[in-house]
Structure 1
Amino acid sequence: MSPIYTTQGSTSVKRSHDELLTLDLSFGHPPGKHLMAGKFDISEALYKMQSSIKQCKWKVSLEEHVHVVLAATSILLLTPNKYLDKIKHFFDLKDWNTAISSVKMMYDIQPPPTPLNMEGNAFKFVKGLSVLIMKLPRFPIVEDINETELCTRFVDPLLMGLFDDPDNGVYLRRTNETTMEAKQNNSCIDHCPDLCITKSCGEKWGADCGYGEAKPAARDNDHFLVCMDLLRVALLSKESLDKQCLDGVLGVQIVGRTLTFYVLLLPAEEVYTLLQLAEVKIPDSLQSLSHLIMDISTILCLMDVFDRLCVPTDE
């Protein structure tokens, strides 16, 4: 295991210490059948991103190299509509868009009317919306709110309606406790996630098929912490997919009232793709509730991805 070059950059809120990640950099060429997008070799491009890390002699900021840092863990972060300078060395714009489209096509990820369970998911959405309505203030609150209030008043009511389904053994759980190992190592990665979506197995908890990290809106400009949350969600999802043999794992990054959804997939050997699905903003009051209704097609697609892909694999 080798320390990787991540520290807060000029765009981050300054802290009194650097934070290092310990990642395994002993990777080689991807084995087996490569992931292709037309004639473009996605597996080879990911390997080149991994290899570029070994050539760096100095620490650089995580927020400016999040795609490359994730590549060191064999995770390819696919962000539609975001084509950063660090990606240009490995994917040109055409190949980048083709790679995203290929993964979406492979897993049939597209808006309704494709979802087969659209009526059931629409009912769950309406149910979750009714819970959210009971929690929302009548008028916007000007003052900043902390993470606990953000989650209990805005985030949890919506996510409970979308993914919490006790009748089918699926539970949205609050798990934001620090493990003993994390306390000893003072590590950001070893912290428990703020929330997870768990399927029960009889009287015990079963597979974790979703993870989420939350930060209040006041931390929106701390890009280091925001990227660290994304990294934590990605690594937890990868571990869950491997150990619990799932087809996919849902990831939710929460910054203020904006929720960014991802799904981690394994389309080829040692090539994990973290595909950004959508951004959904929770209304700040009953006055702006209609804005959420405009996202119903997107939300139904998210629920369909979770129902179809975040399940035990057949292979």
Structure 2
Amino acid sequence: MRQTANSSFINVPPRKKQRILAADIQWCVDNKDTMTLNSFAENFSLLDKQYTISRYTSIINSRHLVLERERLQTEFDNLKKSEEFKLYWIKRTRRRTQLEVDTKCTEYVCDAAKRATKALSSFSTTNDTTITAPPTSIPSTSYHATTISTANDITKTTEVEFTVDISDLEAGIATATIIEDAENPRLSKDDAEIDLLMLGKSLNPFERSLVWGIKAGMRKLPLKPIKTRKSLGECELFTMYFDPILSAMFSNSDKNVLLRWSNVASDESGEKRPDATISEIYQHDFGPSLGYGEVKVARPTTDNYALCHDLLRLATLAKDTIDINKLQAALTFQINGFKIIFYLSRLRHDGMYIMQEIGRLTFPSSLEELASFVNLKNIRTLPMVTEAFWRLCQPVNDKELWKTKCRPTYPTIYSLIDVTKDRHRFCALQFE
């Protein structure tokens, strides 16, 4: 009897260890009555949208939440259609981008500090004042870093200082009145041009250039907007709508500076062919480039891929012309449909190039819109951009110090662009 009991005791299988649930599954089980995708992402500090949705969906469809599966799935489907969901993930994506940029900047600063410390150490250990070249096995070339700053993200260290106060409201009102009279027409275009010329005599040079650009635009702009925007090509877009005002701002025969819509390569651009180039003229030839422009015809949906690619081209072109021609700054502009953004690029620190947005506005598409174009914002922005160009896009004074700050352009910078396109991909830059 005792032997039987012992044998039966021995044959009892051992108990299985209770399986410990993953932390996110356990949290979902504990909070099944109140949890949402957003609270799930917040609790586990998730910033990747696709991973968060995939993980959350797999948990609510697992065997641990069988009774709550239908309700949680319905709530999740309704959340995805809401404005709250889209705004929340825009915020999370921006946070992710900011952290990635901060990480890269920190790594760059740390690497620069290590290189500087190593150089100082090697200098202090030598017997004479010469510094030996680094071993060939270690790359000795450090490349540039470019920071793009929008108009809403301007720090005090990169702010453009405007030396002229552009605040002649009476001149703006007078200009708008003349244009409106020519549109009605209570005033002929010839008389309107004479009135604008007389008005420009009393203004400073930067406001005068804007008035003369508006005068030239009155001859080129159609009376009413062209409805079939698809028929407008890039050449027609910039020659008819943008050239009158931009040429008045950035061209001056007395100073031998010309805005060219050439679409040809220059000494600074290499094989790249910008749509527009602001060039100095040396005798009978084009000299150094002071700025560049890129043009894209507006599409039914914004082509962020092409616009970002153009912005990278402008940043590289501006950086190269600053280095080659030893300029204090270079001006660039990007046209998308009838919208234009102005940038000013400068070498402010050792190997750090700042590309700052200094103006953003919409140009008129007809004579009817020209009067409303002359508003307080535009008559302040455009003369300020003009003043910054003529004052800052000049050769530097200390060229030897400039050489120590410059860095070569990263040779394969375009390889950083993802070859795939996705219109749903988040774009941190705003072109509309």
TM tier, smaller: 0.5 to 0.7
Partner Cα distance (1:119, 1:195) in 2: 26
- Judging changes above 3 Å, is the alpha-carbon distance between structure 1 residues 229 and 110 closer, same or farther for their aligned structure 2 residues? farther
Q: Please state which structure has a larger fraction of its residues in strand.
A: 1
- Judging changes above 3 Å, is the alpha-carbon distance between structure 1 residues 211 and 274 closer, same or farther for their aligned structure 2 residues? same
1:276 maps onto 2:357 in alignment: yes
Q: Please state which structure has a larger fraction of its residues in helix.
A: 2
Give the superposition deviation at 1:292: 2.2
Partner Cα distance (2:395, 2:106) in 1: 31
- Judging changes above 3 Å, is the alpha-carbon distance between structure 1 residues 46 and 78 closer, same or farther for their aligned structure 2 residues? farther
Whether contact under 8 Å (2:166, 2:383) holds in the other structure is: no
**What pairs up with 1:108-257 in 2 under 5 angstroms?**
108-109=161-162, 112-113=165-166, 119-144=204-229, 145-177=232-264, 190-218=271-299, 221-257=302-338
SS at match of 2:387: helix
- Give the letter for the 2:333 counterpart: V
1:297 maps onto 2:380 in alignment: yes
SS at match of 2:248: helix
Which residue among 66, 75, 92 is the counterpart of 2:146? 75
SS at match of 1:289: helix
Whether contact under 8 Å (1:265, 1:274) holds in the other structure is: yes
- Judging changes above 3 Å, is the alpha-carbon distance between structure 1 residues 111 and 219 closer, same or farther for their aligned structure 2 residues? farther
- Give the letter for the 2:219 counterpart: M
Map of 1:308 onto structure 2 = 391
- Give the letter for the 1:303 counterpart: T
Give the superposition deviation at 1:217: 0.9
**What pairs up with 1:16-31 in 2 under 5 angstroms?**
none
- Judging changes above 3 Å, is the alpha-carbon distance between structure 1 residues 198 and 219 closer, same or farther for their aligned structure 2 residues? farther
In structure 1, runs of 5+ residues without a counterpart are 1-43, 52-71, 82-95, 183-188
TM-score normalised according to structure 2 size: 0.48
Q: After superposition, what is the alpha-carbon deviation per residue over 1:148-180, rounded to whole angstroms, capped at 9, x for unaligned?
A: 11011101112111111112101011221479x
Q: Which has the larger radius of gyration?
A: 2
Map of 2:157 onto structure 1 = 102
Name the stretch that deviates more: 234-243 or 292-301.
292-301
Partner Cα distance (1:101, 1:220) in 2: 35
RMSD, matched Cα: 2.9
In structure 2, runs of 5+ residues without a counterpart are 1-101, 110-142, 168-202, 399-432
- Give the letter for the 1:47 counterpart: C
Partner Cα distance (2:147, 2:393) in 1: 18
Whether contact under 8 Å (1:111, 1:298) holds in the other structure is: no
Partner Cα distance (1:169, 1:240) in 2: 18
Map of 1:86 onto structure 2 = none
Whether contact under 8 Å (1:264, 1:273) holds in the other structure is: yes
Q: After superposition, what is the alpha-carbon deviation per residue over 1:34-58, rounded to whole angstroms, capped at 9, x for unaligned?
A: xxxxxxxxxx98733769xxxxxxx
Partner Cα distance (1:237, 1:168) in 2: 21
